[in-house]
Structure 1
Amino acid sequence: MSSITCGFIGLGLIGGSIARALKDSGEEVRTVAYDTNKKALTQAYQDGVVDVLVSDIDSRFSDCDYIFLCAPVKVNMENAEKLRPFLSPKTVLTDVGSVKTEMHVRMEELGLGPVFIGGHPMAGSERTGYANSKSKLLQNAYYIITKTPETTQEKLDGYRRLVKAMGAIPLVMTYGQHDFITAAVSHVPHVISASLVNLVRDSDSPDGEMRMIAAGGFKDITRISSSSPVMWQNICLTNADNVSRLLGDYIDSLEEIRKAIDSKDEDRLMDFFDSARRYRDTFIDASSGPIKTDNAVHVEIPDETGALAVVITMLAAQGIDVKNVGIVHNREFETGSLRIELHDENDVKKAEKVLVGHGYQVTVG
């Protein structure tokens, strides 16, 4: 890949991570960025992630080979319209949004079909903003590409190469396929997660006993509820048909299993849990999906003075940077009394090897 210039309109978690990944790729990449958050822009410039800071969406983006729209979907549409007078026919305009149909429709209305290619890196975090961006966020993550009827093979191939340079895995599909799939495996789960959290909140005692005990499995499956509420409001509004359809199917399945519980239908209950277990066990054991794993290991440690310090010192001696540590008090669904959160999958593998080598019982995930 020869020298290229990449523009970023929005430099939060995803935009910042893409810019970092491209800078770390070994390719010659020049970056231009605009964001309403001037503090984030300044930090990115100081970090060497951004080469040129711009104060507005203007002709300074004309020389870009690729321009990434990294704001919420509706804001991306507005920014694309502002960009239109400054776009070169050679440029690939792309976005990173979780919903593609509305974006594609709007790009065709603006006459931007020949330059637009939709993009969605299937990576993220409950933490937001440039300060939490990192190049490894995209490592081995699926990156969905949605072309328009006017997309040339040359532009598509170039975009694929760019995605690979980030360390991600490009997958090409239609925008309709993308929106239905992500509704099922990302959007609806976020709605369900938020509803579970709200169920506990509304059912809790004045003393907050449920909240105190809500750790282990419950805390893990509802972790995604800490994501940006603005982003998820936007996603539900722009992918409403798919989310609503799948939620309807989910509600029907809940009604069926409630009937089985009420009637004490042993066979139906067994099939419900067993079929889910068997299908779940076929999933690829990697963090390449839309809901990222939290890169944690669970370790059994003795209840004695200094046991925690020994484990942390052991990891530090091997150059493994620990992100967070917690004692798991509710271990109904957990396999270790100590939970260690790390920065990426490589650190998880290294930590597991080190701890198992010293005789500790370790479970990943």
Structure 2
Amino acid sequence: MIERILILGTGLLGASTGLALRAAGFTGSIIGWDKDPGQAQEALARRSIDSVAANALTAAEASQLILLATPVYAILDWMEQLAPILGPSHLITDVGSTKALISQAGNRLFNDPGRAGFLPGHPMAGKEVSGAAQADAGLFQGAVWIFTSESESESAKENPPVMSFQSAELAASWRKWVEAIGCRTLDLEAKRHDELVAWVSHLPQFLATALTALLQTELGNAPELTAVGGRALREMTRLGSSPYSMWRDVALTNTEAVAAALQALEQRLAHLRENLRTPELRDEFDLANRFRKG
């Protein structure tokens, strides 16, 4: 049973997790820490956490579950810092947007006799804005929370990573809490996860960013723009307001898959441009409608 949780990173996802756990009936202690003290204090004011840790590593040792709710490279850095000080009675999990590097590091640093357990995770939930002030207890309702494993190499098949009994119990308990806050869980290999999210999450973001930047360049602050654009403009550019800090690590850690998706989109746009006056344009609309109906 999980009774003590530390959330490292009290931004949107971290603070929302704290609120969601409380709404679902979690009665244990939730401690928070953030590199930005203002974010930690905002999370405390919103009752996403019970207290702010003075020292993150000391608080981690005193906790059972440590949730890493930071950008991907910060998650990797925390994993390196936590590995030497935590043991088999601890479980570390995360909400990182890409999973290959995180899963590899998890198997290297954890999930061995005498070491803490590590359960890579990624909730498919969020907003185009960040920060504890935007935290929402209902953020995860109806979402999928993905748990990943590293693609099995020959060495992994010969020496598969195994959590301690205590860590495995905490992992099972955490999965139940994830379901309690409104999520459906899904298990995927890390490589497959990164391939899929490149198409369904990362590509829409970079498309929205490119479109919004293009509109800024071509039309700027034209006074009639908002009225003419209407709902289509608002919906298509909503993600365009996402901050670079949220997406830098995604671009750096899933470069190949994102680049492949962007290249495929470029080819599709070129096909549309070349067929604006042919029946093939109708075929593209038919395909798009078929996808939505499916």
Distance, in Å, in 1 between the alignment partners of 2:124 and 2:162 is: 22
CA contact (8 A) 1:184 1:243 kept: yes
SS of the equivalent of 2:104 reads helix
Q: Write the mapping of 1:27-46 to structure 2, written as runs, cut at 5 A.
A: 27-46=26-45
User: Which ranges of structure 2 fall in alignment gaps of 5 or more residues?
Assistant: 151-159
CA contact (8 A) 2:65 2:170 kept: no
Moved more, 147-156 or 54-63: 147-156
The match for 1:125 is 127
Distance, in Å, in 2 between the alignment partners of 1:59 and 1:38 is: 17
Q: Which of 133, 147, 151 is the aligned partner of 1:145?
A: 147
The match for 1:271 is 283
Normalising to structure 2: TM-score of the pair?
Answer: 0.87
CA positional deviation for 1:159: 2.9
SS of the equivalent of 1:171 reads strand
The match for 1:243 is 258
CA contact (8 A) 1:32 1:61 kept: no
Moved more, 207-216 or 50-59: 207-216
1:255 correspondence with 2:257: no
CA positional deviation for 1:28: 2.5
Q: Which of 188, 196, 200 is the aligned partner of 1:185?
A: 200
Is the radius of gyration larger for structure 1 or structure 2?
Answer: 1
Distance, in Å, in 1 between the alignment partners of 2:56 and 2:220 is: 51
Higher RCO (C-alpha under 8 Å, 6+ residues apart)? 2
Go from structure 1 to structure 2 and tell me whether the alpha carbon gap of 1:212 and 1:202 turns closer, same or farther (over 3 Å shift).
Answer: farther
CA contact (8 A) 2:6 2:59 kept: no
The match for 2:236 is 221
Distance, in Å, in 1 between the alignment partners of 2:195 and 2:266 is: 17
Moved more, 50-59 or 246-255: 50-59
Give a deviation string over 1:30-77, Cα, whole Å, max 9, x none: 112111222332343344432232122222211322111111111111
Q: What's the Cα RMSD here? A: 2.1
Moved more, 224-233 or 186-195: 224-233
Distance, in Å, in 1 between the alignment partners of 2:210 and 2:253 is: 20
CA contact (8 A) 1:35 1:41 kept: yes
CA positional deviation for 1:95: 1.1
SS of the equivalent of 1:33 reads strand
The match for 2:153 is none
Go from structure 1 to structure 2 and tell me whether the alpha carbon gap of 1:206 and 1:97 turns closer, same or farther (over 3 Å shift).
Answer: closer
CA positional deviation for 1:194: 1.0
Distance, in Å, in 1 between the alignment partners of 2:189 and 2:260 is: 19
How many correspondences in the alignment? 277
CA positional deviation for 1:156: 4.5
CA contact (8 A) 1:30 1:51 kept: yes
What one-letter code is carried by the residue in structure 2 that aligns with 1:216? R
Distance, in Å, in 1 between the alignment partners of 2:261 and 2:220 is: 32
The match for 1:106 is 105
The match for 1:6 is 5
CA contact (8 A) 1:121 1:141 kept: yes
Q: Matched residues, percent identical? A: 28
Go from structure 1 to structure 2 and tell me whether the alpha carbon gap of 1:255 and 1:113 turns closer, same or farther (over 3 Å shift).
Answer: farther
Moved more, 141-150 or 239-248: 141-150
Give a deviation string over 1:131-162, Cα, whole Å, max 9, x none: 11011111121111113552546554333212
CA positional deviation for 1:104: 1.7
SS of the equivalent of 1:214 reads helix
Q: Which of 163, 175, 182 is the aligned partner of 1:160?
A: 175
